[in-house]
Amino acid sequence: MEVVLENIRKYFGDVKANDGISLVLDSGKIYGLLGENGAGKSTLMKVLSGYHPPDEGRIVLDSEPEAFSSPSDALAQGIGMIYQDPLDIPAMRVIDNYMLGWDRRVILDYARAEKELRQNAGRMGFQIEPDAFIDSLSLGERQQLEMLRLLALGAEVLILDEPTTGISAEQKESLFASLRRLVEEETKTVILVSHKLSDIQELCDHVFVLRRGKLIGSADIPCPTQQLVEMMFEELPPRRPRVSYVRDDRVLLQVEGVEVDDDRLQIGNVNLNIRAGEVFGFAGLEGSGQRLILQACAGLTPVSEGRIFFDQQDVTRWPYRKLLQAGVAYLPAGRLEEGLIAGLSLMEHIALTNPMPGFLVDWRHYAQETEVRIQRYQVIGQASSYIETLSGGNQQRSLFAMLRDDLKLLLMEHPTRGLDVRSADWIWQLLYQRVEAGTTVLFISADLDELVERSDRIVAFSGGSMSRVVQASETSADELGHLIGGE
Amino acid sequence: MNETEFVKILSSIVLQSTPLIIAVCGETISERVGVVNLSLDGTMLLSAMTGFVAGLLSGSVWIGFLAAALVGALFAWIIAFGSIRLRKDQFAVGFVLTLLGDELSAFLGQNYTRIPGESVRHLGIPFLKDIPILGPIFFDHDPVVYFAFLLVGVTWWWLFRTQPGLRLRSVGERPESGFARGVDVNRLRYVYTLIGGALVGIAGAAYSLDIKLGWSEGHTRGLGWIALAIVIFGGWSPIRGAVGSLLFGASKALAAALQRRFPEVSVVAFNATPWLLMIAVLLLVGSDVTERLVVIMPKRVQPRLRRLLRVRPPAALGVAFSTPESQGE
Amino acid sequence: MRRIGWLNPNWIVVPIAIIASLLVTSALLLAFGVSPKDGFDAMLLGAFGDSTKVLSVTAFWVPLALAAAGLILTFTAGMWNIGVEGQIVVGAIAASWVALKIDAPQPLLIILELLLAMAAGALWAGIAGLLKTRGKVHEIFGGLALNNLAIILTNYLISGPWQPPEGGTFRGTEPFPAKALLPLYQDSRLSPLSVGIVLVVIVLIFIVLRGTKWGLRLKALGKNPRSAFIMGVSSEREMIVAMMICGALAGLGGSVRVLSWFDSLRQSISGGIGYLALLVVMLSATRVLLTPFIAYFFSAVLNGSITLQLRTQLHSSLGGILTGVMVLFVLLFGGVRPMKLPSQKTVEVEENE
C-alpha cells in the first residue's frame, strides 16, 4: 500500500506542530522518522494513525484520499500505531487486551484468540503470557502485544514510536528481525520514530528528518551520522563568553551511583558532582530519564540505589518538604498542573510560597511584595489576577517570582519552554543574578542552544543512561547531538 | 434449632437479600462504565414508592416494576447527563438526588402509606424445589428472586465473556484506549448507566412489592448506601457482589436470631456490627493485604487467586472523557 | 468579590433555579388539589407569621448555620464530609452527658457542655479523616458508617442508661435539669447566646479563610493538591485539621440543638440537619458570607412546610423538594463550578508531543 501525506498541517493553539509536511511511503520499506523534541514526529504519526484529524492537508492511501475518525478506523484501512505509552488497559489481562476490538462476534472465543496470539507471538519471537495482567508487564512487552494485535487486525503500515526504549538487547534484535521479515516477506511498511541514530541506521532503508514542524530533509540509509545530526539540529551560533560564578570546587550536590525506577523507565548509574554556584544543564530527549533524576534530587521520587548528598549531608531518604526547608526549590514544567493553582491569584501564590511568621496573612504586605516582584520579573498581570488568566509566558515568570530569595539549589524542568527569545533572555538574566547571589542551578532543557549558551557544564541522558559530562564552552551541537542520540 | 428451622432461615435470607442483589448488580454495571450513582438510597425510596403505587393503581405488579425501572433510569440519566454533558461532579449531583428522592417519595406517596397493595405471587419451581435443603433455599420463591439469580449470571457473563462487555469495561478503566479501539465512550456511558439505574429502580420495587410489602415513609432507607458499599466490597464483580449481599442479609438474620436467644446482650452490638464490618472491609480493600496474601501462595495458584481477590476500582471511575476534537463540548 | 469580569454566571442561574423550584412545587401542590397561593401562603405564615414562628425559624437555623460554616472548611479542602450528621449527633450526646452527669453552676455547666460537644464532634470527624488518609476509606463511607454508629449510640442511651425515670419511651432521655439548658428568649426555643455564637463563628471562618496562612493552604489543597504539594503544603495534616474543626462546629450545633430546641436527647436529635447543611454549602459555592442567609432560607422553608402540613394535610417534605430542586438546578447549570472536588477529573486525550 502506498501512503502519501500531502501538506499536513496540525496546530495546537499557536503552536504549529506540523507545518505543511508532505512525504511518500512505499510498501516493503522501513522508514525512519528523526527529529528533536517538538519537531512534530509524534504528532504527524498520530495524524496518520487516525488519532487526530489534520487541520489541513490529506492522507492518500493507494491513490484514494482517506479521512479517519479514530485509530480503529485507520486500522481498518491498514494503518496501525504503537504509541510510546501503548493505549492498552493496565487493569486487564494480555488476552483481554488482545481481544478488545478483535472481532465483531458477541461471545469471546478465548481459546481461539489465545491460540492465534501464541502463534503470532512465536512467529515474531516474542514471549507472551496470555493470563498476565498488563500492569505487570514491562513497557517492551506491552509494545510487543500491541504489535501482535495490530498485525492480527490487518495492519499494513506499522508505526512504532520509540520502541527500543526499555527493552533488552536480545528483545531489540528479535524485534528488528521480525520487522525486517514483515517488510521483506509480507511487503508491509514500517515507520520507526526514534531519536536513536544507531537504531535508525541499523534498521531503516530511508529516513525523514523533521525540525520545528517541517520536513527538513531525507536520506537513504546508509548515510553518515554527521549528515543526520546536521539535519536534526540547527547549527549553533557562536557561544558568547559568559562569566562563571563557580568560586571553588566545593561540591553542593553529589549524586553517587543513583538508580531510579519508574513504571516506564529505569535510569541507572548516575554520578554527578555539581559545584556551588554552577549552572548545570541536563540534555536529552523526553523520556530519557533526566526528569526522574531531577525529581530524585528534590526528594519527589524515591531512589532505588545509590546516594545523594546535599551540602555535605546524606539526603537520599529526605522527603520533599525537608529539602524545601533546606533551601532547595523545584519548578515543574507543567505550569498549571504541577506548579500553579488555577483559581488562586498571583498574590496568593506569593503568599503561599513566601510565608511570614504568625497566623494571619498580611495582605497589604503581600500586595506590595507582589508588585515588587511583578516589576522585577516583568509579569504582565496584576497581583489580584487569577493565575490562569495569565499567558503561558507570564505564568512562567510568575513561577520565578514565587521563589524564595535565599535559595541554595534551584531545580528546573524546562525553564523557558513556550517563551519567546526576549522573555527567555530576561529569565536568564534573573537567574544569573541569583547564581551570583549564591544559588546553584540545575535545569532540563530541550533547546541545545540554551544548554550550550547558559550552562557551565552539560550532561546528556539517553535511554536510561547518562553520558559523560561536557564543558559548555568546549562542546558543539554535533557532540551534543551524538550524546543525545546515544552514541 | 433443627434442620427445618435452619433451612427456613437460609431461605428467608435469600429472599430478603434479593433487592440488594439486584441493586448491587445495577450499580456494578454503572461503576464499571465509570459513573458512580450516589443517589441509590433516594432512587430506591422513590422507586419503591412508585412501584407500589403503580402496582396498586394498575392492578399489576409488572407495571409497578416497569414504572420503578423508569424512575431509576431517570435519576441515573440526570447523573449521567450532568457528568458527561455538563461536566459537573457526579458525587454532588448524586447526593442531591439522594435527598430529593427521599423527599419526593415521602410527598408523592403520602396517600398510599400503610395500605395493602399488589404483591408478587409465589412461584416455586417444580421438581427443583423438592431437592432436600437446596430446594427450599433457592428454588421455592417467586419470579423476582429467580430474576435476581439470572441477573447475576447474565451480568457476569456479559461483563467478562462478551465483546460488548470488554468494551464496557474499557470505558471504565481507560477511556482513551477504548476510544482508540473504536468504542463510543460517552454513548456507552449513557446506555449502561441507564441500565444500571433501571435495575436499581427494580430493586426498590422488589422491596415494596415482594419483601416488605406496602409503602411507608423511609421504607427502604439505608439500603442504597449499603448497596454502594457492597459494590466496593464485591470488587466490582456481580458474583462477589451477590455474595456480599447474601452475607449482609445473613448478618442481619443472625443478629435477629441471636437477639432472640440472648436478649440481654445489647441491641447496640447487633445494630453496630454491620457498620463496623463495612469499615473493616473497606479498610481491607484499601490496603495491600490481599496482594500480600497472594504472593505467599504457590506460584501456580497466584494468577487465579489474584483474579479472585482483585478489588481495584475501575481506573477511570468518576473521570470525564473528551475526544481530541470535541474540546468545545 | 473579585471574579473574572463582572458577569457571574451564578447570579443568573440562581434566580432561574428559584423559579424552577417554585414551578415544581406549584405543580405538586396543584396535583394534590391545593392552590399554589394557599400553599405558599401557608409556608410563609409558618415561617414568618408571627414572632413565635420567626423565633422558631431562627432557632432551627442555628445548628444548620454552624454545621454549614464548618463544611465550608472541608469543602474548601476538597473533601466530602458526609459524616457531618454524625458529628452533630455526638456533639449532642456529649452535651447531654454533661447535662445529666455533671453538677456545676450554670455558666460553667453550659461552657462545659459546649466545649465537650465540640471535642466530641472533632473526635468523630478526626476518625473519619484518619480512615481516609491512613486507611484509604473514602470519607463518604467512613462518614456514613460513623453517622449510623452515632445514631445507634443515641438510641442505646435513650432506651438504656439515660432513660426517663418513668420508663423508656424510646423518644428521649430523661429531661435535663433546668440549669443545664441554654437560657431561652421568652418562651421560644431560641437561645440568644447561640445566635451570638453563630455570628462569631461565621466571622471567624471568614477571617480564617481570607486572612490566615492555614486558610490559604486549605484553599490551595482543595484546588490543586499536586501543585499545593510542590509548594510545600502538607495535605494529610491540613485535611484532618479541617475535618476536626468542622466536626467541632457541627458538635457545637448538636449541643445547641439538644440544649435549646429540645430539653433532652432525642431519637432523631439531628434529623438530617447535617445533610441539609451540605446542600446549603453547595448553594453558597463556598462563600462564607452567603451561608447564613441561605441557611436561613432553608430553615424558613422547612419550618414553613410544617404549617403547610397542618393547613393542607400535605406532607411537609414539600419544603425539602423545593430546596432540593433549587440546589439540583444550581449544581447542574451553574456556570462557574462551585467546588473542584477530587472525584472528577478530566482525561484529555494527549495532545502534546
Supply the mean pLDDT for chain A.
85
Distance (Å, whole) CA B35 – CA B22: 17
Q: What sign has the CA pseudo-torsion B11, B16, B18, B20?
A: negative
ipTM: 0.86
pLDDT tens-digit readout, B61-111: 899 999 999 999 999 999 999 988 888 888 889 999 999 999 999 999 888
Supply the mean pLDDT for chain B.
85
Mean pLDDT across the stretch A101-113? 86
Q: E strand or H helix at B225, and its extent?
A: helix B223-233
- Tell me, yes or no, if B46 comes closer than 8 A to chain C by beta carbon: no
- Of all residues in chain A, the percent with pLDDT exceeding 70 is 97
Q: By the 8 A CB rule, do C192 and C110 touch?
A: no
pLDDT tens-digit readout, C268-293: 888 889 999 999 998 887 788 989 99
pTM for the structure as a whole? 0.85
Q: What is the DSSP code string of B8-65?
A: HHHHHHHHHHHHHHHHHHHHHHHHHTT---TTHHHHHHHHHHHHHHHHHHHS-HHHHH
Supply the mean pLDDT for chain C.
86
Residue C347, pLDDT above cutoff 50:
no
Between A78 and B311, where is the model more confident? A78
pLDDT of residue C352: 27
Neighbours of C168 (CB within 10 A): 13
Nearest to A69 by CA among A53, A85, A58, A56: A53
Q: What is the DSSP code string of A144-192?
A: HHHHHHHHHTT-SEEEEESTTTT--HHHHHHHHHHHHHHHHHH--EEEE
Mean pLDDT across the stretch C97-114? 90
Residue A291, pLDDT above cutoff 60:
yes
Residue C176, pLDDT above cutoff 70:
yes
pLDDT of residue B190: 95
- DSSP secondary-structure letter at B314? P
Q: How confident is the model at residue C343 (pLDDT cuts 50, 70, 90)?
A: very low
Nearest to C338 by CA among C287, C275, C273: C287
How close A71 gets to chain B, by Cα (Å)? 5
Q: By the 8 A CB rule, do B196 and B27 touch?
A: yes
| A265 Cβ contact list (under 8 Å, min separation 6) | A139, A165, A166, A287, A288, A289, A292, A464
pLDDT tens-digit readout, B32-70: 999 999 999 999 999 999 999 999 999 888 999 999 999
User: In CATH, what is the architecture of A251-484?
Assistant: 3-Layer(aba) Sandwich (3.40)
pLDDT of residue C349: 30
**CATH of region C39-333:** 1.10.3470
- Chosen CATH of A3-232 out of 1.20.1050.10, 3.40.50.300, 2.60.120.10, 3.40.50.920: 3.40.50.300
pLDDT of residue A348: 92
pLDDT of residue A264: 64
pLDDT tens-digit readout, B100-144: 999 999 999 888 888 888 888 888 877 777 777 777 788 888 889
- Tell me, yes or no, if A49 comes closer than 8 A to chain C by beta carbon: no
| B212 Cβ contact list (under 8 Å, min separation 6) | B219, B220
Nearest CA in chain B to A52: B324
Q: How confident is the model at residue C169 (pLDDT cuts 50, 70, 90)?
A: low
The set of chains that have 3 or more CB pairs under 8 A with A is B, C
Q: By the 8 A CB rule, do A102 and B167 touch?
A: no
- Tell me, yes or no, if B82 comes closer than 8 A to chain C by beta carbon: yes
Cβ of A361 within 8 Å of Cβ of C232? The answer is no
pLDDT of residue B27: 96
Chain C positions in Cβ-Cβ contact with residue B36 (cut-off 8 Å): 343
A87 three-class SS: coil
The set of chains that have 3 or more CB pairs under 8 A with B is A, C
Residue-level length of chain B: 329
Q: By the 8 A CB rule, do A49 and B322 touch?
A: no
Q: How confident is the model at residue C321 (pLDDT cuts 50, 70, 90)?
A: very high
Grid cell for residue C187? 418562651
Distance (Å, whole) CA A396 – CA A413: 11
pLDDT of residue C255: 94
Q: Where are the beta strands (DSSP E) in A221-370?
A: 251-261, 266-275, 279-283, 305-310, 313-314, 328-331
How close C326 gets to chain B, by Cα (Å)? 10
Residue B247, pLDDT above cutoff 50:
yes
Say which of A42, A348, A361 has its CB closest to residue C212: A361
User: Phi and psi dihedrals of C213, rounded to 5?
Assistant: -60, -45
pLDDT of residue B329: 24
Chain B positions in Cβ-Cβ contact with residue A105 (cut-off 8 Å): 163
Location of each CATH 3.40.50.300 domain in chain A: 3-232, 251-484
Mutate to test the interface with C, among A19, A87, A162, A352 (most CBs of C within 10 A): A352
pLDDT tens-digit readout, A41-99: 888 998 999 888 899 899 999 888 888 888 888 999 999 999 877 888 988 889 999 98
Cβ of C212 within 8 Å of Cβ of A348? The answer is no
Residue C2, pLDDT above cutoff 50:
no
Mean pLDDT across the stretch C299-309? 91
Distance (Å, whole) CA B318 – CA B30: 11
Neighbours of C143 (CB within 10 A): 29
Residue C138, pLDDT above cutoff 90:
no
Spell out the domain ranges in chain B: 3-219
